Structure 1
Amino acid sequence: MAARIRVEHQESDGTYGVPRITAELREASCEVVDHKRVARIMRASGIEGVRLHRRHHTTVPSSAAAKAPDLIGRGFTAKARNKKYVGGITYLPVDGRKFLYLATAIDFASRCHTGWTIADHMRTDLVIDALAAAERTRGSLAGAVMHTDHVAQYTSRAFAGACRQAGVRQSMSVIGSSADNALAE
């Protein structure tokens, strides 16, 4: 049985674990193969399948925060640069279990990352710094629209104040619809 398990594991490029190897053995031999026995043999032989990591959630909406209207409406084009931007946060897995967080400001017309910042936290400063980087890159963002999702960092008073100071109008997608913020996704 150990030899058959090793063959199935190698044929899967070392990805199959107990459930999948058990299913393959049952299908190949048409006999009853107990998953507990397969697990015991795999453990004794030092054979392991690939384990997928749990998804790390970055979108945590703030229920108490003020929401901005959707000024974009899935219109992800702009006739001129510096008129419409989309912002987003994503995580970058680094060194096993640690994460770095990337906040971006992307111009709709040029599709360029005009502002971005990376940090080991997801505080509001992360998105404010990305907005400030876009402002430094373009000189001024006065009159532009910044479209984001409803994460707490973008619905915060501090980010709203940074937008007002830069002359940017806030726009937010519909909650739970990644298509409304597709350019950032």
Structure 2
Amino acid sequence: MRFKFIFEHRFEFRIAKMCQALNVSRSGYYAHMKRPESNRSKANRELLDTIKDIHTNSRRIYGSPQITKNLPPEKKASRGRVARLMRANGIRSKVVKKYRATTNSSHNLPVADNIVNQDFTTSKPNEKWLSDITYIATAEGWLYLAGVLDLHGRKLVGWAMDSRMKTELVCAALKQAIGRTGASKGLIVHSDRGVQYASKGYQKLLKKNEFVCSMSRKGNCYDNAPMESFWRKLKMEWLNDYTFRTRAEAKKAVFEYIELFYNRRRTHSSNNYVPPFLVGAEM
């Protein structure tokens, strides 16, 4: 490892000084450099290049499990080996932070029972949807984003954005999801107890399509955990890299993440490392 350090920093520091500081001889260093590269060392070097490419293309999002699953056939390696190479070279995934709740559940409107009750398993698309609202900071003010997530495959099937957090926002996201999927009677649509989801307009839309309404217990974010997880991914993996001057800039970034990256390219452990868009074809 000391000889490797000297070689990698040979253009920054004098070799003699580095040998002295690391307590190795110059002759030992030069003898080491003349040795032919071992097959294992060469394989690790080539594997590391592939790891770096996958990590960069994922915008530094993927950790060792996802990188291992995305290795090409000719570069297949164990997760442990990938993790060791990543640690040794300072390659790590972005850390996901938690965000506070957005919707207001202090109202006198009727609320539905918690039918989902943290059972996030499904056997087919359009069986259980989760919905929620989050916020994005811009220099013009907040941009609110409503989303609808199909638990089967974790695909975001509907979403809408606006400068105001009104009932129309969540209705627009739900209408888009219905139009895209053709979901029918009996679908369970889960949300928190926010006033937008308890509103007459939203409830009327659910009843019109004969959907079953489910709501989280008050103050329990775990009842909507996969939806909360999606918001964290969106912000940590994508939006936190930007400072938005306008809401239009933020909308563009949200579109890129959802439609170009998340639904079509981002692999998920819950999908056996298949992107949401391909779940119907693969599972």
**Size of the alignment, in residue pairs?**
130
Match of 1:164 in 2: 207
Residues 121 and 56 from structure 1, CA distance in 2 versus in 1: closer, same or farther, beyond 3 angstroms?
farther
Q: Is the 8 A contact 1:62 1:155 kept in 2?
A: no
Match of 2:160 in 1: 117
- AA aligned to 2:210 is G
For 1:12-61, what per-residue CA distance to the aligned partner results, in whole angstroms no more than 9, with x for missing partners?
xxxxxxxxxxxxxxxxxxxxxxxxxxxxxxxxxxxxxxxxxxx8862211
Q: TM-score, normalised by structure 1?
A: 0.67
The alignment status of 1:60 with 2:104, answered yes or no, reads: yes
Match of 1:98 in 2: 141
The alignment status of 1:155 with 2:198, answered yes or no, reads: yes
The alignment status of 1:75 with 2:131, answered yes or no, reads: no
Q: Is the 8 A contact 1:86 1:184 kept in 2?
A: yes
4+ residue segments displaced more than 6 Å: none
Q: Equivalences for 1:13-32 in 2 at 5 Å?
A: none
Match of 2:227, SS?
coil
Match of 1:75, SS?
coil
Higher strand share: 1
Q: Which runs of 5+ in 2 are unaligned?
A: 1-98, 229-283
Identity rate of aligned residues, in percent? 32
Higher helix share: 2
Q: Distance in 1 between matches of 2:133 and 2:204?
A: 19
Q: TM-score, normalised by structure 2?
A: 0.44
Q: Distance in 1 between matches of 2:142 and 2:200?
A: 26
The alignment status of 1:142 with 2:185, answered yes or no, reads: yes
Residues 80 and 94 from structure 1, CA distance in 2 versus in 1: closer, same or farther, beyond 3 angstroms?
same
Q: Which of 1 and 2 has higher RCO (CA within 8 Å, sep 6+)?
A: 1
Q: Which runs of 5+ in 1 are unaligned?
A: 1-54
